[in-house]
Amino acid sequence: MNDCIFCKILSGEIPTTKVYEDALCFAFLDIEPLAPTHFLVIPKTHIASAAEISGDMEAVVGHIYGVIAKLCAEKGVTSYRVVTNCGPDAGQTVGHLHFHVLAGRQLSSFN
Ligand code: AMP
Ligand code: ZN
């Protein structure tokens, strides 16, 4: 996708700090961390948001959750939050599906 900053990270056009990569997904540090641990996991296939998850992408999302569990276990992170903002009212600012992984501090409740 031409104007997508996360696709540009995938192509190497925009530099980032890589956390993990495989055939289906890529993980990198968030540039404005909101917690001591804050990385993003994205599918290598561009889709705009969680609202577009269907078909083959459903399995990719399951794979991403497995990768998150593995990465957190490797880092010794036993308590963490996975967040996907979908649409502007939810705070989505980048139009490429991504999963925030936040840990390392007490996170506020949603209520
Ligand atoms: P969201 O607001 O849920 O769409 O999340 C987008 C996230 O992408 C934010 O937490 C940003 O800090 C992060 N972000 C934006 N540009 C970059 C970049 N070039 N490298 C790493 N993280 C980025
Ligand atoms: Zn993209």
Beta carbons of 26 and 10 less than 8 angstroms apart: yes
Q: Where are the alpha helices (DSSP H) in 45-104?
A: 56-75
Q: Is 29 helix (H, G, I), strand (E, B) or coil?
A: strand
Q: Which residue, judged by its Cα, is nearest atom 19 of ligand 1?
A: 31
* Burial of residue 106 (number of CB atoms within 10 Å: 0-12, 13-18, 19+): exposed
Substitution site in 7, 42, 93, 96 for ligand 1 pocket (most atoms within 8 Å of beta carbon): 93
pLDDT digits 0-9 by tens, 75-108: 999 999 999 999 999 999 999 999 999 999 999 9
**Model confidence pLDDT, tens digit, residues 21-50:** 999 999 999 999 999 999 999 999 999 999
Query: Does residue 14 have its Cβ closer than 6 Å to ligand 1?
Result: yes
**DSSP letter assigned to residue 27:** E
Q: Which residue's alpha carbon is at the smallest distance from atom 13 of ligand 1?
A: 30
Which residues partner with 83 through β-bridges? 100
Ligand 1 in contact with 94 (CB < 6 A)?
yes
Q: pTM of the predicted model, to two decimals?
A: 0.97
